[in-house]
Structure formats: structure tokens, C-alpha cells
């Protein structure tokens, strides 16, 4: 079994730049378990130094290409990328293809990890912050988190960063979709990628109008045009991200953001473990007995809840 | 300091059920990745997580991906008759890096070459006519053999 010495050793070597040790630690936090909690706890001690940048947007807009390029221009020794993709709900498997677009650009110093959502998105809202914490504690900076901007959890993960970058492509559709999905509201920096295609400027104007209609306090998301495959606009994008981070520091907003993020994470952890508990309860034998009585209409759903809920103090805390 | 006991309260779930993670790549310079994509889908449909590296990989880039992704197995596709040099080179690179990751190869490999390849440390060779089930079970078997040998 995994003991504390092993976790400490892995952290020591990961801080020294050992990619395999870091890879193993990430596997541990990914498998939410007792070990994950200990790794997270250990990472907590050394984390808090890294700049965290979320990158989100519709499928195929160029998030991975942009992220790989950003890792290269960041100019640090050890940038990291966490690329999150959905698992198949049917089989639990996943094809994680982000590295193809990143490897070529990011440079050999970059640490890239692909992560599948593994069934329940609720797990992701715990596993991703833990993984970021481990990367941070290992000395990686900046840390980019790529998620597809569909689904609330995915969006909230990317925006639980210091800086949230939202990517769209030319054409009215993408921008409108992003607006509808609530992505524009949470964007700290907006990117119109594939600017080598027609109408990127038109899309920028559309976004400006939408931003005018929204409300802002203290920071208006700048809009950057990029052609990521060519590397165009990436320096500008990195500059704007840097400006946003400077703004966070100057305004004191960084402290607020990070505190909001941590509070959210505490709630998410409790939710995850409660929902696992609920899952166990309805699946075990006494749960099944009660549910069968609901089937036969002998019990109302409300009465069944009272009988089964771990929140009802009359119910014994059983395993 | 009072540490929480291991396995105190959480279900055994994740630890045992974690999907197999496969790094899938093509080594060297050969053409297309259609076959590789089919294999990727097959493995995904069998519940595995496929880290897809695609074409033109080097032994170094594959080893780096394995370390970062903490992969359980490497799947290599070969179509350019370079398997007799490339596959053993991959096994060597994995060994040199100190990784315990089996190397499974697929593609157009003549049956006569299979013994040579397995002698050089390749965990399994999947022939061109293999069914989806055969692909999946070869990958699974190589992972569990590796786990058992530790
Ligand atoms: N023309 C053009 N194509 C681009 C540009 N950036 C990315 N692409 C292409 O768009 C496709 C998708 O790029 P990715 O970087 O994988 O996009 P993504 O948003 O990460 O995709 P998912 O992770 O699958 O959602 C690839 O074929 C890229 O080569 C660009 O600036 N211009
Ligand atoms: Mg991507």
C-alpha cells in the first residue's frame, strides 16, 4: 500500500523535475481515494505559487494548439498543461487526443497530462483542483487547464483559474454560442482563433458589442486575434494574460478569487463524497428493501427518503 | 501526528476500477494513421483511456508521454517494415528509462518475425487480421502480466 514516505519521496523527486514521479502523483489524485486525500494534503503545503490559466471553448476551436504555443512563450523552465476530455458514458473509455496538437509546440520542458472525466463530472470538480495543486507543489508554472466549454462543470473548472481564456472562431455562430453558454461573462481574456480565416475582425466586433451589453467591474476582457497553427498572436495573448494577472494582484482580486475557488472546492468535495454515500445507500440491501416498498406503492418517495437519508439523525451511520 | 488509516471509509471503487491507460503512437516516418485511429476507438470502446500521440513519434517522445501520463502500456503501429529495428529500439528505450511498461505492436508484421520480436522484449504482437476482441485481450494480458511480475 502507498505510505507516507513514498508520497514524500515522489514529491521530492517531482520538485526536482522528475516527470515520472509527478506522473504517479497525478494518478493517485485522479483515483479519488484515501491516498488521493493524502497526496492532496501534502501538495497543499507547497502549492500557491503557480499562475493558473484556464482555456475553454467549443470543440475544435484550437484550444490545444493555443495552449501548447502558450506553454512555449511563457518562458518558464517548467510549464504544465492539464488537458481534460470527456469519457464515454457507455464504456468509461476515452480518446485523449490533445497531446497531438501540443507536443510539437510546447517544447520538451513542458509537462503535459491528459485527464478523462471518468464517468461523473462531479469527480472532476475535485480531481482537477487536486491535480493542479500537485503540479503547483511540484514547481510547475504556469499551469494551463484545457476543458471543452460545454457542460457546467467543464466551464466552471476552466474558470476556477486565475485567468480564464475563452476561445471562439470566426463566424457569428461561435460567438453567439459562447455568449449563450455564459462563457463570455466568465472570460478574462477572449480569443478569436483561426484568424487566418475570413471575418475574424467581424467576430471581434460582435464580441465587443456583447461585452458592451454585459456588465463589468474593473476589468474588461481584451479580445486577441490568433492564428495558433502559425503561432500568430500568441505573444499578444500571453501579454494580455500577464496584464490580467497583474490586475488581479493590484486590485486585490486575486485573494478573492482564490478564496472563492477554495470555498467552492470544499463544497464540491463534500458534495462528491455525499453523493457517493447516497449511491451506496440506494444500492445496498436495506436500501433495496425500502425501494421495493416504494415500487409497491407502500411508501411515498418522501417517506423513503426519511428512512434512508444519512442526514436523518434517526438513521444509524452504517457502512 | 494522527494520520487517517488507509482504506478507512471510502469505497474500494476507484483504486481497482481505474481504466487502463494506453499510449498509442506510430514510430518513424510512415504515412497515414487510419489504422491507428481504428485501434484507438476499439480500445476506448473496451473502457480504456487512449492517449493518442499519432504519427511521427520518436522513442524519446513516447517515453516522455508515458512518464507524464503514467501509462500502463504502449501500443505501436508499424506499417513500413521497420518493425525489426524500431520495436526492439522502443523496448530498449523503455528499459533504459527504467519504466515498467509493456510494448505491444500491431500492423503489418510477418508471422515469421514474431519470435524475434518477442525475444527482444515486445510483450505482444497483434497481426493484421486480428479482431477487436483479440486486440483488446492482447493489451489487457500484457498489462496484467506486467503487474504480476512486480
Ligand atoms: N486554420 C486554422 N486552423 C487551426 C488553428 N488553430 C488550430 N487549428 C486546427 O483546428 C483543429 C483543432 O485544433 P485543436 O487545437 O485540437 O482544437 P481544440 O479546441 O483543442 O479541440 P478539442 O480539444 O477536440 O475540443 C486542428 O486541425 C488544428 O490544426 C488556426 O489558427 N487556424
Ligand atoms: Mg484540445
pLDDT band per the 50, 70, 90 thresholds, residue A131: very high
Asked if the model's pLDDT at residue B98 lies above 90, the reply is: yes
Using an 8 Å Cβ cutoff, are A126 and A269 in contact?
yes
In contact, A82 and A146? CB cutoff 8 Å: yes
N- to C-terminal Cα separation, chain B: 32
> DSSP assignment, residue A232?
B
Interchain proximity B70–A37, CB inside 8 Å: no
pLDDT at A166 over 70: yes
Residue A81 CA to ligand 1 center (angstroms) comes to: 16
pLDDT 10s digits, A68-93:
999 999 999 999 999 998 888 888 89
> Which has more confidence, A174 or A185?
A185
Report, at the CATH architecture level, how domain B6-148 is classified. Answer: 3-Layer(aba) Sandwich (3.40)
Among B38, B114, B109, which residue's Cα sits nearest to residue B78? B109
Contact A22, A57 (CB under 8 A): no
Average pLDDT, chain B: 85
Among A264-268, A270-274, A280-284, A314-318, which stretch is predicted with the lowest mean pLDDT? Answer: A314-318
Predicted pLDDT of residue A54:
95
User: From start to end of A58-104, where are the E strands?
Assistant: 80-85, 94-96
Angle at A16 between CA A110 and CA B2, to 5 degrees: 115
C-alpha cell at A281: 445507500
For residue A57, report the distance from its CA to the centre of ligand 2, in Å: 10
pLDDT in tens, B18-74: 899 999 999 877 677 888 899 999 999 999 999 999 888 899 999 999 999 999 999
Kindly report, residue by residue over A187-222, the tens digit of the pLDDT. Answer: 999 999 999 999 999 999 999 998 888 777 789 999
Q: Give residue A297's pLDDT band: very low, low, confident or very high (50, 70, 90).
A: very high
Q: Between B83-96 and B59-69, two packed helices, what is the crossing angle to 10 degrees? A: 40
Tell me how far CA of residue B67 lies from CA of A96, A161, B136, in angstroms.
16, 26, 22
For ligand 1, whether the C-beta of A65 sits within 6 Å is: yes
When CB atoms are compared, the residue of A33, A92, A113 closest to B15 is: A33
| End-to-end CA separation in angstroms for chain A | 22
Which is higher by pLDDT, B98 or A32?
A: B98
Residue A319: pLDDT band (50, 70, 90) is low
| pTM score of the predicted model | 0.91
Q: How confident is the model at residue A160 (pLDDT cuts 50, 70, 90)?
A: confident
Helices (H) and strands (E) in chain B, counts: 6, 5
Position B121 scores a pLDDT of 94
Identify whether the C-beta of residue A165 lies closer than 8 Å to the C-beta of residue A242.
Answer: no
Tell me if residue A54 falls in helix, strand or coil: strand
Shortest Cα distance from A118 to chain B (angstroms)? 9
How far is it between the farthest Cα atoms of chain A? 67
Report whether residue A69 contacts ligand 1, using a CB cutoff of 6 Å. no
pLDDT band at B122 (very low <50, low <70, confident <90, very high): very high
pLDDT at position B1 is: 37
A185 vs A166: CA distance, rounded Å:
10
Integer Rg of chain A from CA:
22
Choose one of A62, A69, A195 to mutate for the ligand 1 pocket test, by most ligand atoms within 8 angstroms of C-beta. Answer: A62
- pLDDT band of residue A156 (cuts 50, 70, 90) is confident
Say whether A82 sits in a helix, a strand or coil: strand
Query: Which of the residue ranges A129-133, A226-230, A308-312 would you say has the lowest mean pLDDT?
Result: A308-312
- pLDDT tops 90 at residue A8: yes
Give residue-wise pLDDT tens across range A253-269.
999 999 988 999 999 88
Residues A188, A55: Cα–Cα separation, whole Å: 10
Mean pLDDT value across residues B128-135: 90
What distance in angstroms lies between residue B65's CA and the mean position of ligand 2's atoms? 16
More confident residue, A273 or B98: B98
A19 contact residues in B (CB cutoff 8 A): 64, 67-68
Domain spans of chain B, in order of start:
6-148
What is the pLDDT confidence band of residue A1, given thresholds at 50, 70 and 90? low
Distance of CA A7 to the CA centre of its chain: 24
Element (H, E) at B78: strand B73-78
Assign B14 a pLDDT band (cuts: 50, 70, 90). very low
Q: Grid coordinates standing for B35?
A: 489504422
Higher pLDDT, residue A129 or B109:
A129
Q: Does A16 touch chain B (CB under 8 A)?
A: no
Amino acid at each position: 500500500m502507498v505510505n507516507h514516505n513514498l508520497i514524500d519521496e515522489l514529491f521530492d523527486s517531482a520538485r526536482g523535475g522528475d516527470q515520472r514521479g509527478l506522473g504517479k502523483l497525478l494518478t493517485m489524485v485522479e483515483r479519488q481515494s484515501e491516498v488521493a486525500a493524502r497526496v492532496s494534503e501534502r501538495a497543499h503545503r507547497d502549492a500557491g505559487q503557480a499562475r493558473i490559466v484556464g482555456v475553454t471553448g467549443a470543440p475544435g476551436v484550437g484550444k490545444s494548439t493555443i495552449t501548447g504555443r502558450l506553454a512555449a512563450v511563457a518562458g518558464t523552465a517548467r510549464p504544465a498543461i492539464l488537458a481534460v476530455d470527456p469519457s464515454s458514458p457507455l464504456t468509461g473509455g476515452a480518446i485523449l487526443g490533445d497531446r497531438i496538437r501540443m507536443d510539437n509546440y510546447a517544447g520538451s520542458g513542458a509537462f503535459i497530462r491528459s485527464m478523462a472525466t471518468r464517468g461523473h463530472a462531479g469527480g472532476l470538480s475535485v480531481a482537477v483542483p487536486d491535480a493542479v495543486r500537485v503540479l503547483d507543489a511540484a514547481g510547475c508554472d504556469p499551469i494551463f487547464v484545457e476543458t471543452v466549454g460545454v457542460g457546467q462543470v467543464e466551464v466552471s473548472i476552466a474558470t476556477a483559474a486565475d485567468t480564464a481564456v475563452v476561445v471562439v472562431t470566426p463566424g457569428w455562430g461561435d460567438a453567439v454560442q459562447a455568449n449563450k453558454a455564459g462563457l463570455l461573462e466568465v472570460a478574462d481574456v477572449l480569443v478569436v482563433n483561426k484568424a487566418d480565416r475570413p471575418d475574424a475582425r467581424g467576430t471581434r466586433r460582435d464580441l465587443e458589442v456583447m461585452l458592451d451589453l454585459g456588465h463589468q467591474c474593473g476589468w474588461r476582457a481584451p479580445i486577441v486575434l490568433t492564428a495558433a497553427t502559425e503561432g500568430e498572436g500568441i505573444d499578444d495573448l500571453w501579454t494580455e494574460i500577464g496584464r490580467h494577472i497583474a490586475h488581479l494582484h493590484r486590485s486585490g482580486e486575486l485573494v478573492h478569487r482564490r478564496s472563492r475557488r477554495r470555498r467552492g472546492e470544499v463544497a464540491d468535495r463534500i458534495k462528491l463524497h455525499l453523493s457517493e454515500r447516497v449511491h451506496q445507500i440506494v444500492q445496498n440491501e436495506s436500501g433495496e428493501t425500502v425501494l421495493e416498498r416504494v415500487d409497491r406503492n407502500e411508501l411515498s418517495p418522501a417517506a423513503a427518503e426519511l428512512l434512508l437519508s444519512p442526514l436523518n439523525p434517526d438513521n444509524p451511520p452504517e457502512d | 501526528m494522527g494520520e487517517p488509516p488507509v482504506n478507512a471509509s471510502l469505497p474500494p471503487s476507484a483504486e481497482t476500477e481505474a481504466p487502463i491507460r494506453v499510449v498509442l503512437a506510430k514510430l518513424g516516418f510512415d504515412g497515414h494513421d487510419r489504422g491507428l485511429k481504428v485501434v484507438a476507438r476499439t480500445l476506448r470502446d473496451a473502457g480504456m483511456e487512449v492517449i493518442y500521440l499519432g504519427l511521427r513519434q520518436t522513442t524519446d517522445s513516447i517515453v516522455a508521454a508515458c512518464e507524464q501520463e503514467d501509462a500502463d502500456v504502449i501500443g505501436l503501429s508499424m506499417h513500413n517494415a521497420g518493425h525489426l529495428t524500431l520495436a526492439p529500439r522502443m523496448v530498449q528505450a523503455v528499459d533504459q528509462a527504467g519504466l515498467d511498461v509493456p510494448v505491444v505492436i500491431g500492423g503489418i508484421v510477418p508471422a515469421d518475425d514474431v519470435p524475434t520480436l518477442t525475444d527482444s522484449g515486445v510483450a505482444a504482437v497483434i497481426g493484421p487480421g486480428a479482431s477487436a476482441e483479440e486486440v483488446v485481450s492482447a493489451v489487457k494480458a500484457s498489462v496484467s502480466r506486467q503487474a504480476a511480475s512486480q
